Amino acid sequence: MPDRPKVYFFFQEVNPTLRHRNDLKQFIEYVFKQEGKIVDTINYIFCTDNALLDINRKFLKHDFYTDIITFDLSESDVVTAEIYISVDRVKENALQHKTSFKQELHRVLFHGVLHLCGYGDKKEEEIQLMRKKEDFYLKAYFG
């Protein structure tokens, strides 16, 4: 009997084009494995800017838009998490960074995984390592 799915996608008021979802979910599990983590459940919730702003205000006491908020709900070494992604912000960032929506969306998807694997993005050296890891997995996924 095959393993149960571990990565789930949910959509709140948005429906971004996300092709080959099963392959992407398997790749996300692969990233965790490569980073030495065991996954129980990862829920990605795709939403609007305003929905993520509300979450940012309520739970993090931040009053600004962001592209992703990752909640690590793990109670052991096995990873359980909810990852909220603002599709509006990803579109805006893609324009700003002169990249495709598809590329930016996958970068953000992997960014959340990397946070759950222990990578930070507050200090300059952490940001550089995070970008390097994102680029590595983007290249591995897209070829």
CATH number, residue 111: 3.40.390.30
Confidence label for 2 from pLDDT (cuts 50, 70 and 90): low
Q: Flag whether pLDDT at 143 surpasses 90.
A: no
Q: Are 67 and 99 in contact (CB under 8 A)?
A: no
Q: Are 11 and 41 in contact (CB under 8 A)?
A: no
Q: Flag whether pLDDT at 9 surpasses 80.
A: yes
1 located within any domain: no
Q: Residue 30 belongs to what domain range? A: 7-142
> Which of these, 81, 66, 73, lies nearest to 29 by C-alpha position?
81
2 located within any domain: no
Q: What is the mean pLDDT of residues 120-140?
A: 96
Q: What is the DSSP letter of 10?
A: E
Q: Flag whether pLDDT at 1 surpasses 50.
A: no
112 located within any domain: yes
The pair of three-digit structure tokens given for residue 101, joined into one six-digit string: 């929506």
Q: Which helix (H) or strand (E) holds 120?
A: none
Averaged confidence pLDDT in the chain: 93
Q: Give the C-alpha separation, 109 to 46, whole Å.
A: 10
132 located within any domain: yes
Tally of domains within the chain: 1
Residue 112, pLDDT score = 97
Q: Flag whether pLDDT at 109 surpasses 60.
A: yes
Query: Is the pTM above the cut of 0.85?
Result: yes
